């Protein structure tokens, strides 16, 4: 199973279930949380009651018209419910594919007595310890407490290469549903059933735990305010009409109210929010709250670890710089010898460089009397003792001390070379053969391809990127220059991140960060948007409010875009909804007063056929536009990082301008259709 695919927009299965759901959602107790649609439901009920009264009392004059108005009013509510149910259905479908793998899993529970008992994975509780062996599926999220194993995590990440999971360190977290392919591990379960990331995500989508996000609340207030205003307009219109001896009927007043009320955005608001979560899941990111998704769109500052995010994880040797007349080949040879036993990526890159540049092959050391000196934080060097030679490579000052201790002389130019390399953002490693300093290896950070473009994109979105690195300021500066990051913090400790986040937040900025290690956990918790790598530790995943299943640090860009898209879709549909009112006024007001003030027909600029057809067309348009905009609500408005002002102009033009024009055309068309069909 690769990443969960977005189900087709109108997948029959989801749409079918959504139809049923939209009827169930008519329950006023749930609908009251959506004040706009609640008003529509109440007034639809009122219209229906009036209709029944008219039937009972045998008033048949406009019965056909009233029946149709009532029907379309109910459709308006149902269409809004349908939109929400569609979004939920799609979210559930995605979550279900993620969850499927887990339900049938058996777990080998290790009892207190040490015996192993096979139980159902769903019965596991927090703190239970299970044994997972090659071929087993890990039954639930947890932490490795013993053993090392290769784990295939393609079930959640879509990445087929197995990863190593071992106890201790930053690679101890395992996810339920992934498979152990070699060796065995003991896993301590960290979540109760129903509390895993997936469960929380599903609950958020399903609505049971869905809370309105801050922006959603503010928008709901705006929409509710507008609705109240229009209730006021419609309620006072009745006496205003009486003044000119016009008695307006309930159905037409309700029709006017429902057309003016922002039903389009009111009906699609929750669908937009759920769809935002769905889109995150499509990008393999699980959000633990809708609030986090929204905050992502607002992020001002992005903290990025240098290693793994901006640069490829490792430094690579790129150059040998000999000193004091030493041949480059001799330096390369010594460097290679010193690195043969060095299994670190840096060490390997030295061997590779020597082979590539100077055609030096790796030698079988078993033939020689060789003793490896591994790197230690204390000595800050590593190397080899071979046939009486002691070859060392390491930090400049330590190696030079090593040379001096052996009464060697320090070549005068070596300091200049070391400084130059450091200034360029590289790491200088000095190589010495006993008392002779041979030269310097230039280790360089390799910046990820395309990262510069990504930073430009972030800048265009208005985000400031800050690189965090343990390097010295010189090195950090060089990498910052090369990668195009806006700012950097050098010689950072884990505490630096937390402090930096607090500082930024004190200045009123929203901060996002990506982390994986246990020492990132406090910073992840402090950040407004904390994205934990799925490959990271359990502590990090608990602290963040999003988990990236792909463990891809540049994913933040998509997350920010989805957050912005969410707000923009709301804004676009709000504008569209309000702009629609103009045409609806022009359709309904002349129709209401056709008898009293025939002069007002001058406002009937669409030349709608009859007062009834005009009102009905407006109501039908108002209902159908919800259905028509479901795809936009679910897919979201396209985001372009072009800066705020041009973006606003563009969206104003499309959704504001379009919102003014489209209903004039559409209402006219509907009017022509229903007149041709003799519906009124």
Partner 1 sequence: MIENSLLRIGVPFAALVAFSIPLGLFMARVFNRQRTFLDPVLEPIERAIYRICGIQRSQEMTWREYTGAALLFGAASWLVLYLIQRTQYLMPFNPQGMTAVAPLLAFNTAASFSTNTNWQAYAGESTMSYMSQMLGLTSQNFLSAATGIAISIAVIRGFVRDGIRTLGNFWVDLTRATLWVLMPICVVLTLVYVWQGMPDNLGAYAEVKTVEGAPQVIAQGPVASQEAIKELGTNGGGFFNANSAHPYENPTPLTNLLEVLSILIIGAALTHTFGKMAGDRRQGWTLFATMSLFFLASCALAVWAEQAGNPKFASLGVDQRPLATQSGGNMEGKETRFGPIDSALFAASTTATSCGAVNSALDSYTPLGGLIPMFNMQLGEVIFGGVGSGLYGMIVMAVMAVFIAGLMVGRTPEYLGKKIEAREMKLVMLYVLIFPTLILLPAAAASVIKVGLSGIANPGPHGFSEILYAFTEGAANNGSAFAGLNANTPFYNLVLGFVMLAGRFLMAIPALAIAGSMAEKKAVPASSGTFPTTGVSFVVLLVAVILIVGALVFFAGDALGPIVEHFAMVNGKLF
Residues annotated as catalytic are 305
233 lies in the binding site for partner 1 (CB under 8 A): yes
CB atoms within 10 A of CB 552: 21
Q: Which residues from 284-303 bind partner 1, rule CB under 8 A?
A: 294, 297-298, 300
Which of positions 611-640 make contact with partner 1 (CB under 8 A)?
639
C-beta of 643: minimal distance to partner 1 in Å? Answer: 6
- Which residues, numbered 531-570, are part of the site for partner 1 (CB under 8 A)? 563-568, 570
Token pair belonging to 81: 């419910």
Binding-site member from 56, 61, 377, 602 for partner 1 (CB under 8 A): 602
DSSP string, 320-382: EEE-TT--HHHHHHHHHHHHTT--SHHHHHHHHHHHHHH-PPP--GGGS-EEEE---TTT-EE
Candidate list 28, 168, 345, 643; residue touching partner 1; CB under 8 A: 643
The helices-and-strands tally (H runs, E runs) of the chain is 23, 20
Which one of 206, 585, 610, 627 is in contact with partner 1 (CB under 8 A)? 585
| Residue 617 tokens, joined | 């067309």
Task: Tell me the closest approach of the beta carbon of residue 481 to partner 1, in angstroms.
Answer: 21
263 part of the interface to partner 1, by CB under 8 A: no
Q: How many CA atoms lie within 13 A of 100 on its CB side?
A: 11
Q: How far apart are CA 635 and CA 576, in angstroms?
A: 17
Q: CB nearer to partner 1: give 36 or 568.
A: 568
Q: Which of residues 455-484 bind partner 1 (CB under 8 A)?
A: 459-464
Give the span between the Cα atoms of 601 and 605, in whole angstroms: 8
> Is residue 600 a contact residue for partner 1 (CB under 8 A)?
yes
The answer to whether residue 575 forms part of the interface with partner 1 (CB under 8 A) is: yes
Q: Where are the alpha helices (DSSP H) in 488-636?
A: 494-506, 521-526, 538-543, 556-592, 611-635
**Nearest partner of 118 among 135, 139, 143, 142, judged by Cα:** 139
Asked if 649 touches partner 1 (CB under 8 A), the answer is yes
DSSP letter, residue 493: -
662 near partner 1, rule: CB under 8 A:
no
Residue ranges of alpha helices (H) inside 59-209 are 63-103, 154-157, 197-206
Binder of partner 1 out of 161, 366, 508, 677 (CB under 8 A): 508
- Residue 151 host element (H or E): strand 142-152
CB 78 within 8 A of CB 26: yes
CA dist 273 and 287 (Å) reads: 12
Nearer to partner 1, 107 or 510 (CB): 510
Q: Which residues does residue 443 pair with via DSSP β-bridges, in sequence order?
A: 317, 427
Among 651, 664, 666, 668, binds partner 1 (CB under 8 A): 651
Among 56, 506, 676, 677, binds partner 1 (CB under 8 A): 506
Out of 107, 201, 219, 321, which residue is the one contacting partner 1 (CB under 8 A)?
219
DSSP 458-477: HHHHT-EEEEE-SS-HHHHH
Contact segment (CB under 8 A) with partner 1 among 167-175, 344-352, 375-383, 500-508 equals: 500-508
Instruction: Choose, by CB under 8 A, the member of 2, 221, 416, 595 that binds partner 1.
Output: 221
Of 374-413, binders to partner 1 (CB under 8 A) are: none
Q: Would you say 230 or 402 has its CB closer to partner 1?
A: 230
Within 190-295, strands assigned E span 285-287
By CB under 8 A, name the one of 44, 101, 175, 215 that touches partner 1.
215
* Residue choice 72, 320, 621, 655 for contact with partner 1 (CB under 8 A): 655
Instruction: Give the nearest distance from C-beta 210 to partner 1 in angstroms.
Output: 17
Total residues contacting partner 1 (rule CB under 8 A)?
Answer: 72
Beta carbon of residue 280, minimum distance to partner 1 (angstroms, whole number): 15
Given candidates 86, 260, 384, 547, which one binds partner 1 under the rule CB under 8 A? 260
Distance separating alpha carbons of residues 104 and 390, to the nearest angstrom: 59
Considering the complex, what minimum distance in angstroms separates the CB of residue 163 from partner 1?
A: 35
Cβ nearer to partner 1, comparing 223 with 396 = 223
Single residue of 599, 607, 676, 678 touching partner 1 by CB under 8 A: 599
- Three-state DSSP at 433 gives strand
| Contact assessment for residue 73 and residue 252, using Cβ atoms and an 8 Å cutoff | no
Segment lying near partner 1 (by CB under 8 A), choices 303-311, 437-445, 467-475, 501-509 = 501-509
> How far, in Å, are 96, 303, 513 from residue 309 at the CA level?
31, 10, 11
Q: Confirm or reject binding of residue 364 to partner 1 (CB under 8 A).
A: no
How far apart are the C-alpha atoms of 428 and 320, rounded to whole Å?
Answer: 10
For residue 220 the two structure tokens come to 């709901």
- The residues facing 109 across adjacent strands are 117, 130
Residue 437's SS3 state is strand
Stretch that binds partner 1, among 93-101, 182-190, 489-497, 577-585 (CB under 8 A): 577-585
Segment contacting partner 1 by CB under 8 A, of 4-12, 99-107, 365-373, 595-603? 595-603
Measured from the CB atom, the residue of 159 and 294 that comes closer to partner 1 is 294
Binds partner 1 (CB under 8 A): choice among 574, 577, 613, 622: 574
Work out whether 572 is an interface residue with partner 1 (CB under 8 A). yes
User: Contact at 8 Å (CB) between 394 and 380?
Assistant: yes
Tell whether residue 244 is a contact of partner 1 (CB under 8 A): yes
The nearer residue to partner 1, 245 or 387, going by C-beta atoms, is 245
The residue (of 208 and 644) whose beta carbon lies closer to partner 1 is 644
435 within 8 A of 463, measured Cβ to Cβ: no
Would you say 272 or 350 has its CB closer to partner 1? 272
Q: Which is nearer to partner 1, 631 or 643 (CB)?
A: 643
């Amino acid at each position: 199973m690769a990443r969960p695919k977005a189900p087709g927009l109108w997948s029959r299965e989801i749409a079918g279930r959504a139809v049923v759901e939209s009827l169930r959602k008519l329950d006023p107790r749930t609908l009251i949380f959506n004040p706009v649609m609640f008003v529509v439901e109440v007034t639809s009920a009122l219209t229906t009651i009036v209709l029944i009264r008219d039937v009972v009392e045998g008033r048949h004059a406009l019965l056909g018209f009233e029946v149709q108005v009532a029907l379309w009013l109910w459709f308006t509510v149902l269409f809004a419910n349908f939109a929400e149910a569609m979004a939920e259905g799609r979210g559930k479908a995605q979550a279900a594919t993620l969850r499927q793998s887990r339900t049938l899993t058996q777990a080998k529970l290790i009892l207190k007595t040490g015996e192993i008992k096979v139980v159902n994975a769903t019965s596991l509780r927090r703190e239970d310890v299970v044994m997972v062996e090659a071929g087993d599926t890990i039954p639930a999220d947890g932490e490795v407490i013993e053993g090392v194993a290769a784990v295939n995590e393609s079930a959640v990440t879509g990445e087929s290469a197995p990863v190593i999971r071992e106890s201790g360190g930053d690679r101890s977290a395992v996810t339920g549903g992934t498979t152990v392919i070699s060796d065995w591990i003991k896993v301590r379960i960290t979540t109760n059933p129903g509390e895993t990331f997936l469960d929380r995500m599903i609950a958020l989508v399903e609505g049971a735990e869905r809370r309105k996000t801050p922006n959603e609340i503010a928008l709901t207030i705006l929409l509710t305010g507008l609705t109240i205003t229009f209730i006021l307009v419609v309620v006072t219109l009745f006496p205003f009409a009486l003044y000119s001896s016009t008695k307006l009927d309930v159905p037409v007043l309700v029709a006017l109210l429902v057309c003016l009320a922002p039903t389009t955005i009111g009906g699609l608001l929750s669908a937009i929010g759920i769809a935002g979560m769905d889109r995150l899941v499509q990008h393999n990111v699980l959000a633990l709250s809708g609030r986090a998704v929204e905050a992502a769109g607002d992020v001002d500052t992005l903290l990025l670890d240098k290693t793994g995010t901006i640069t490829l994880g490792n430094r690579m040797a790129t150059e040998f710089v000999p000193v004091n007349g030493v041949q480059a080949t001799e330096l390369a040879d010594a460097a290679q010898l010193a690195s043969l036993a060095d299994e670190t990526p840096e060490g390997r890159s030295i061997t590779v460089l020597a082979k590539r540049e100077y055609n030096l092959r790796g030698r079988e050391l078993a033939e020689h009397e060789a003793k490896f000196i591994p790197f230690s934080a204390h000595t800050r060097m590593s190397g080899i003792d071979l046939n009486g030679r002691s070859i060392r490579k390491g930090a400049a000052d330590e190696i030079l001390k090593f040379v001096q201790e052996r009464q060697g002389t320090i070549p005068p130019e070596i300091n200049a070379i070391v400084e130059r390399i450091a200034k360029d953002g590289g790491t200088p490693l000095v190589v010495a053969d006993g008392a002779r300093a041979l030269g310097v290896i230039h280790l360089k950070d390799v910046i990820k391809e395309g990262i510069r473009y990504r930073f430009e994109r972030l800048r265009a979105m208005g985000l400031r990127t800050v690189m965090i690195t343990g390097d010295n300021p010189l090195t950090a500066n060089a990498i910052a220059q090369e990668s195009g990051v806006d700012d950097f913090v050098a010689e950072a400790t884990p505490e630096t991140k937390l402090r930096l986040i607090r500082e930024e937040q004190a200045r009123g900025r929203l901060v996002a960060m990506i982390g994986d290690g246990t020492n990132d956990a406090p910073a992840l918790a402090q950040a407004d948007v904390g994205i934990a790598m799925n490959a990271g530790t359990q502590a990090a995943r608990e602290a963040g409010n999003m988990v990236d299943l792909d463990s891809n640090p540049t994913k933040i860009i998509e997350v920010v875009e989805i957050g912005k898209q969410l707000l923009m879709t709301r804004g676009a549909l709000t504008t569209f909804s309000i702009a629609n009112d103009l045409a609806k006024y022009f359709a309904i007001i002349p129709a209401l007063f056709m008898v009293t003030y025939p002069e007002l027909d001058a406002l009937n600029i669409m030349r709608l056929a009859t007062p009834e057809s005009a009102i009905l067309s407006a109501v039908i348009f108002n209902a159908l536009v919800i259905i028509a905009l479901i795809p936009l609500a679910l897919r979201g408005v396209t985001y372009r990082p072009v800066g705020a002002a041009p973006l606003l102009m563009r969206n104003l033009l499309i959704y504001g301008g379009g919102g003014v024009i489209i209903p004039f055309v559409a209402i006219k068309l509907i009017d022509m259709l229903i007149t041709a069909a003799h519906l009124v």
